[in-house]
Structure 1
Amino acid sequence: MDVDIGNALAGVATPGVPRSYLDRLDERVADAHDRIRTGMADDEFGYAALNLPERADPDAIRAAVAPLADADTVLTVGIGGSSLGAATLTDALATEGEAHYLDNVDPAQVSSLLDDLDLESTAVNVVSRSGTTAETLANFLVVREAYEERGVDWTERTLVTTGDSGNLRDLADEHDLPVLAVPDGVPGRFSALSTVGLAPAALLGVDIEGVLAGAREERDALSGSLFETPAYAYGALLYALDGRGAHANVMMPYHESLETYAEWYAQLHAESLGKDGLGQTPVRALGATDQHSQLQLYRAGPNDKLVTFVHARDGPDVPIPSADLDGLDYLAGATLGELRDAEFAATEASLADVGLPSVRVEIERVDAPAVGGLLFGMEAATVLAGELYGVETFVQPAVEWGKEVARGLLRGEEALEETESLRVTRE
């Protein structure tokens, strides 16, 4: 993963970060790096996630998924960090079969998906560290009933990924289901490079060893200077720009296969850094699609955003057929990849022209090592930013509050405080 922050520096962008400030900030980055290294060495909660490239065991993962290796489709039941990392890997890298994710409790969507699936050839991967996540357990119970109604033995098609205790662990023990352990000390949003993210990927033929190898390269590249570590350069820049008024971070990959990566990053960023009145708002975008839906705002609206472009230098391509059509002579002899890259370069230049800060994150190609490195790099960037902000990066109290209230409402034990409403209806 390479990071170019030139278009976010003062003199080019407003807000922008002066190079002299980055020189001073680098001293704090060195201190933060020492804290991160200590946390990793001691396997402290949260920091342990940065050890996953070394600790994850692909052989154990492949052994656990082996009983389901005949599946054509993998249905992962989880929410948030229990699904987005896996979805990022399968959407970017899977070359065989289909992956589906039940990560919401929308009755219409759940019913429609189950109606369309051939359950006899579908493996179910249910993921919850606690084994008590309401949305996950509710969806899994619906899935299990669908299997039973169609006469398919769900116990022969189910993999459980969970903690050492809880409802799912008990279920796995009772029915002798294949089970993978969620690693200790790793918050869900940091678990993409663990059993949580790698098991569905392995079932769909992804080179999980390559993913981990790429992540290890980024891990080994961590140093005490933002000028030597791409991940730290990015994390430090987020912090510095937020303090100067760039309160939104638009994550904009220029590859369809990385669209889910932007969703994964949004959770990682928001849940880790949104505390104590601090943190940028992550925005998901996709190039070149959102040049037509969002670029107008970015170029002509308020300069309160950073746009992060993610671009691969190499990859498959498709020639554009010649056509006798007026006004399309510029496409003659071009390819779809060349058109996409021209759109990317033009968008980047367009934002620089009006002084909106942007960062270019480049990988060589969308393959297993590069995606593994990208995921690890963004995790390390987020941890560093958390150190600079001084927030508790690895907790999410606001999320837990909402979960408790929802459980109380379902039990009839909680009543939400009435607030004044202004309802507008048609006559």
Structure 2
Amino acid sequence: MDIDIGNALDAVAGPGVPRDSLDRLDGRVAEAHERIDRGMADDEFGYAALNLPERVDTAAIRDAVAPLTDAETVLTIGIGGSALGAATLTDALETDGDAYYLDNVDPAQTSALLADLDLESTALNVVSRSGTTAETLANFLVVREVYEDRGVDWTEHTLVTTGESGNLRDLADEHDLPVLPVPDGVPGRFSALSTVGLASAAILGVDVESVVTGARAERESLSGSLYETPAYAYGAITYALNARGASANVVMPYHESLETYAEWYAQLSAESLGKAGLGQTPVRALGATDQHSQLQLYRAGPNDKLVTFVHARDGPDVDIPDAELEGLDYLDGASLGELRDAEFEATEASLADVGLPNVRVEIERVDAAAIGGLLYGMEAATVLAGELYGVETFTQPAVEWGKEVARDLLRGGDPLDETTSLRVTRE
């Protein structure tokens, strides 16, 4: 993973970071790195996530999923970090079958998905650290009933990824289901490079060993300077721009296969850094599609954003046939990849032209090693940013509050005394 932060400096952008301010910030990065290094060495909660490339046992994952590898489809039931890491991998990388995710509680979507699945050729991966996550357990109970109604033995198709205790662990023990442990000390949004993110990918034939190898290479690049560590350069520049008024971070991959990556990053950033009135609002976009739907705002609207482009230098391509039509001569001899790259570079230049800060995140190609490095690099960047903000990066108290309120409502309570309603209805 390479980072180019030149278009985020004040010579180009406003808000932008002066070079001397970046030099001073590098001293704080060095101090933060020492804290991160200690946390990793002591396997502290949260910091332990950055040790996963050295700790995750891909052979154990392969063994656990072996009974399910003849499946043509994998349905992962989880929510948030229990699904987004796996979805990022299976959406980005070539797989031997189809991957679907039940990561919401939308009755229409759940019913439509289950109606179309061939359950005999579908493997289930049910993912919840606690084994009590309401959305995950509810969806699993619905799916299990559909299996039973169709006369398919769900126990022969199910893998459980969970903690040492809880309802899912009890269920797995009762039915002798294969189980993968959720790693200790790793919050869900940091678990993509563990059993949580790798199991569904492994079932579908993804080279999870290369994913981990790529992450390990990124881990080895961590040093005490933002000028030597791409991950720290990104974490530091997002922090510095936020302090100067860039309250949103638009994450814009220029590859369709990386669209889910933007969703994964949105959770990682929002849940880790959105505390004490701090943190950037992550916005998901897709190049070149959103040049036609969002670029007008970014170029001509309020200058309160950072745009993060994610781009691969190499990959498959398709030639564009000669059209022999007036006005399309610029496409003669070109390819879709060249057109996409031209769109990307034009958008980058367009934003720099009006002083909107933007950063380029580049990988060599969209493959297993590069995606592993990208995921690890962004986790390290987020941890670094958390140190600079001075927040508790690995907790999510606002999320836990919402869960408790939902449970109270389902039990018939009325915990929403602080809310106000002003309805406008059509007569």
Task: Give the TM-score normalised by the residue count of structure 1.
Answer: 0.99
What is the letter of the counterpart of residue 320 of structure 1? I
CA distance in 1, matches of 2:333, 2:94: 31
Equivalent-residue separation in structure 2 for 1:306 and 1:418 (angstroms):
34
1:50 maps onto 2:38 in alignment: no
How far does residue 326 in structure 1 lie from its aligned partner after superposition? Answer: 2.0
Distance 1:100 1:3 in 2: 32
Offset at residue 416 of structure 1 (A): 1.7
Q: Specify the SS of the correspondent of 1:296.
A: helix
Separation (CA, whole Å) in 2 of partners of 1:418 and 1:46: 33
Between the aligned partners of 1:222 and 1:415, the Cα distance in structure 2 is: 46
The whole-number CA distance in structure 2 between the counterparts of 1:405 and 1:399 is: 10
Partner SS state of residue 260, structure 1: helix
Q: After the TM superposition, which parts of structure 1 deviate over 6 Å for at least 4 consecutive aligned residues?
A: none
Residue 331 of structure 2 aligns to which amino acid in structure 1? L
- Show CA shifts across 1:172-203 (max 9, x none): 00000000000000000000000000000101
**SS class of match (2:15):** coil
The code of the aligned residue for 1:371 comes to I
Task: Using the TM superposition, give the Cα deviation of residue 94 of structure 1 relative to its aligned residue in structure 2, in angstroms.
Answer: 2.9
For residues 267-287 of structure 1, what are the alpha-carbon distances to aligned partners after superposition, in whole Å with 9 as ceiling and x for unaligned?
000000000000000000000
Question: How many residues of Structure 1 are paired with residues of Structure 2 in the alignment?
Answer: 427
Q: Distance in 1 between matches of 2:176 and 2:117?
A: 25
- Once the 2 structures are TM-superposed, how far is the Cα of residue 413 of structure 1 from its aligned partner? 3.3
Gaps of 5+ in 1: none
The answer to whether the 8 Å contact 2:95/2:201 transfers is no
1:390 Cα deviation from its structure 2 partner: 0.1
1:228 CA drift (Å): 0.4
Q: Which residue of 1 aligns with 2:169?
A: 169
Partner of 1:105: 105
**TM-superposed deviation, 1:417:** 1.1
Distance apart, 1:424 and its partner CA: 1.4
2:391 is paired with a residue whose SS is coil
Amino acid of the structure 2 residue aligned with 1:234: Y
8 A contact 1:72–1:121 mirrored in 2: yes
Indicate the residue corresponding to 1:315 in structure 2: 315
**SS of residue paired to 1:338:** helix
Q: Deviations over 1:194-248 (max 9, x none)?
A: 0000000101111100000000000000000001000000000011000000000
Partner of 1:133: 133
Alignment-derived partner of residue 183 in structure 1? 183
Cα RMSD over matched residues? 0.7
CA distance in structure 1 between the aligned counterparts of 2:123 and 2:215, rounded to whole angstroms = 27
**What does 1:54-65 correspond to in 2, within 5 Å?**
54-65=54-65
- Note if contact 1:255-1:286 (Cα within 8 Å) is conserved in structure 2: yes
User: Displacement of 1:418 after TM fit?
Assistant: 6.0
The one-letter amino acid paired with 2:248 is A
Match of residue 156 from structure 1: 156
2:350 matches 1:341: no
The one-letter code matched in structure 1 to 2:251 is M
Is 1:366 the equivalent of 2:362? Answer: no
Say if 2:292 is the partner of 1:292: yes
Provide the residue aligned with 1:114 in structure 2: 114
Q: Which amino acid aligns with 1:277?
A: G
Task: Write the deviation string for residues 48-94 of structure 1: whole angstroms up to 9, x where unpaired.
Answer: 00000110111000000001111000000000000000000000013
**What is the rounded CA distance, in whole Å, between the counterparts of 2:173 and 2:414 in structure 1?**
34
Per the TM alignment, residue 415 of structure 1 is displaced from its structure 2 partner at its CA by 3.3
Q: CA deviation at 1:419?
A: 3.7
Shift of 1:120: 0.4
Please identify, of 321-330 and 48-57, the stretch whose mean Cα deviation from structure 2 is larger.
Answer: 321-330
Residue identity over aligned pairs, in percent, reads 84
Any idea what SS the aligned residue of 1:347 has? Answer: helix
CA positional deviation for 1:121: 0.3
Q: Give the aligned partner of residue 355 of structure 2.
A: 355
- Say yes or no: does 1:195 pair with 2:200: no
Q: Is the 8 A contact 1:86 1:201 kept in 2?
A: yes
CA–CA separation in structure 2 for the residues paired with 1:204 and 1:420: 48
Q: 2-side partners of 1:40 and 1:400: how far apart?
A: 26
Give runs of aligned pairs for residues 381-396 of structure 1, distance below 5 A: 381-396=381-396
Amino acid of the structure 1 residue aligned with 2:242: D
Match of 1:143 in 2: 143
Answer yes or no: is the 8 Å Cα contact 2:160–2:180 preserved in 1. yes
Q: Deviations over 1:71-129 (max 9, x none)?
A: 00000000000000000000001332000000000000000000000000000000000
**Does the C-alpha gap of structure 1 residues 418 and 386 become closer, same or farther in structure 2, counting only changes over 3 Å?**
closer
Q: Which amino acid aligns with 1:208?
A: V
**Which amino acid is the alignment partner of residue 237 of structure 2?**
L
Would the aligned equivalents of 1:94 and 1:201 in 2 still touch at CA under 8 Å? no
Task: Say which SS state the counterpart of residue 278 (structure 2) adopts.
Answer: coil
CA distance in 1, matches of 2:137, 2:172: 13
Deviation at 1:414, TM superposition (A): 3.7
1:71 corresponds in structure 2 to: 71
Amino acid aligned to 2:199 = A
SS at match of 1:403: helix
Report whether the alignment pairs 1:422 with 2:417: no
Q: How far off its partner does 1:18 sit?
A: 0.4
Distance in 2 of aligned mates of 1:6 and 1:181: 42
In 2, Cα distance between equivalents of 1:418 and 1:312: 48
